[in-house]
Amino acid sequence: MSEKKWTLTLAIVLVALSVVLYLLHFVLFHDLHHIGIYLLGDIAFLPIEVLLVTLILHQLLETRDRKMRLEKLNMVIGTFFSTVGTDLLAYLSDHDPRMQGLRKDLRISDSWSETDFTRVSATLSGYTCMVEISEMDLLGLKTFLTTKEDFLMRLLENPLLLEHESFTELLQAVFHLTAELRHRKDLVGLPENDQRHLTGDVCRAYRLLIIQWLEYMHYLKGHYPYLFSLAVRTNPFDEQASAMFS
């Protein structure tokens, strides 16, 4: 209420000041015709001024604000991959029989251009993920995901994620997989139908992980070379990757 009162007071003061200045002009020069010409000119320019302020200036501020939100959002995504995503990708890709032919396309380097990212992104859009769930340590996967559940929940509560549907979808897929594993007391000797169902849940999270990881790597290369360098050296798809420089 006090803020509205302050705004109203300021508006009254500014209008009164304008009236006083026009009266002062008339008292000094006694030229009502001159006042009318400039007053009409000012009023005529007012719509253009509104256009400049409300549209162009507002758009510039909105663009800057969007850029700042994007930077904060990618910090959140980076935290996800350093805490959960990279290890999960490395584990799942090791149980993907089709990954061997794709690994070379995912060995990102400093020499990559926009064309390389576009090419691999197109390849991934048609990639059908496959995992051999019978050879996976489902109990170990369950333990890993449940220990990260609180961290993932805090990420999901971040309001910035409202602007990133694909990453939100990824988190939901990982949450669903965690819930499916948590609700099974015994993960050994599962029926064939249940294995097929879990395979679908794993593949959903796995495919979204790969796509989001590539987008994040693309962002790092263009904005944070030092973070990109570490991400390349810890590439979950490169079996020879090492954080240490050789």
Q: Which residue has the higher pLDDT, 79 or 2?
A: 79
CA distance 22 to 34: 11
Residue 202 is predicted with a pLDDT of 93
Tell me the average pLDDT across 202-219: 92
Residue 57 is predicted with a pLDDT of 67
Sign of the CA dihedral running 14, 17, 23, 27? negative
Mean pLDDT over each residue of the chain, to the nearest integer: 84
CA distance 136 to 95: 7
**In 3D, which of 157, 213, 204 has the Cα closest to residue 179?**
204
Query: Quick check: 145 pLDDT over 70?
Result: yes
Contact assessment for residue 132 and residue 95, using Cβ atoms and an 8 Å cutoff: yes
CA distance 73 to 79: 10
Please, which pLDDT band fits residue 172 given cuts at 50, 70 and 90?
Answer: very high
Which DSSP symbol is given to 191? -
Percent of the chain with pLDDT over 70: 93
For 177-207, how does the pLDDT look when each residue is reduced to its tens digit (9 = 90+)? Answer: 999 999 888 888 888 899 899 999 999 999 9
